[in-house]
Amino acid sequence: MKWLANNYSTMTMAFFLSLVTVVVLTKRPDAETQVTIYAQFTPVVRADVTSLEYFAEGQEVTDRLLVTVSGDRPQIEVIQLTCRPILDEGKFPADTANREIPLELTYRDFGITDEMARRIRINPVTLRIRYARFEVRSLPVKIPDLVGRPKDNFRVEQVRPVPPEIKVRIPADKAESLKSISIRPIRIGGRAASFVAPGDIDTDQLLLREVKAQETFTVEVDIVPVQFQLEMTEVPVCLSSAPQKGLGAELVEPKSVRVILEGPEEIVKSVHPEQLHVFVKLDWPPGSRTGDFSLPIKCDVADDALRRVVRVRLHTGERSTAVVRVAKS
Q: HEC states along 84-132?
A: CCEEEHHHCCCCCCCCEEEEEECHHHHCCCHHHHCCEEECCEEEEEEEE
pLDDT at 5 over 60: no
Task: Report residue 29's pLDDT band, with 50, 70 and 90 as the boundaries.
Answer: very low
Query: Measured in whole angstroms, how far is the alpha carbon of residue 213 from the centre of its chain?
Result: 13
Spelled out in words, what is the top-level CATH class assigned to the domain 141-225?
A: mainly beta
Q: How far apart are alpha carbons 22 and 18 in whole angstroms?
A: 6
pLDDT at 59 over 80: yes
Which letter does DSSP use for residue 20 in this model?
H
Q: How far apart are alpha carbons 293 and 243 in whole angstroms?
A: 17
> How buried is residue 127: exposed, middle or buried, by Cβ count under 10 Å (0-12/13-18/19+)?
buried
Alpha helices in the chain (DSSP H): 2-6, 8-26, 73-78, 114-117, 265-269, 304-307
pLDDT at 31: 54
pLDDT at 7: 54
Q: How far apart are alpha carbons 32 and 26 in whole angstroms?
A: 17
Taking a C-beta distance cutoff of 8 angstroms, is the pair 197, 190 a contact?
A: no
0.85 exceeded by the pTM? Answer: no
Taking a C-beta distance cutoff of 8 angstroms, is the pair 147, 186 a contact?
A: yes
pLDDT at 118 over 60: yes
Do 141-225 and 228-328 have matching folds?
yes
Task: Report residue 3's pLDDT band, with 50, 70 and 90 as the boundaries.
Answer: very low
Q: How far apart are alpha carbons 17 and 270 in whole angstroms?
A: 132
pLDDT at 19: 46
pLDDT tens, residue by residue, 257-310: 999 999 988 899 999 999 999 999 998 877 778 899 999 999 999 988 899 889
Q: Could you say which architecture CATH assigns to the domain 228-328?
A: Beta Complex (2.170)
In this structure, how many other beta carbons lie within 10 angstroms of the beta carbon of residue 170? 22
Q: How far apart are alpha carbons 294 and 307 in whole angstroms?
A: 27
pLDDT tens, residue by residue, 209-230: 999 999 999 999 999 888 899 9
Q: How far apart are alpha carbons 220 and 183 in whole angstroms?
A: 13
Q: Could you say which architecture CATH assigns to the domain 33-132?
A: Beta Complex (2.170)
What average pLDDT is seen over the chain? 88
**Cβ-based neighbours of 119, under 8 Å, separated by 6 or more:** 71, 72, 75
pLDDT tens, residue by residue, 103-117: 999 999 998 888 888
* pLDDT-above-90 percentage for the chain: 64
Q: If we measure between CA atoms, which residue out of 33, 118, 121, 40 comes closest to residue 77?
A: 33
Task: Report residue 6's pLDDT band, with 50, 70 and 90 as the boundaries.
Answer: low
Query: HSE of 146 in the Cβ direction (CA atoms, 13 Å)?
Result: 20
Task: Report residue 25's pLDDT band, with 50, 70 and 90 as the boundaries.
Answer: very low
pLDDT at 131: 95
pLDDT at 20 over 50: no
Q: If we measure between CA atoms, which residue out of 269, 319, 325 comes closest to residue 296?
A: 319
Domain ranges of the chain: 33-132, 141-225, 228-328
Q: How far apart are alpha carbons 221 and 156 in whole angstroms?
A: 7
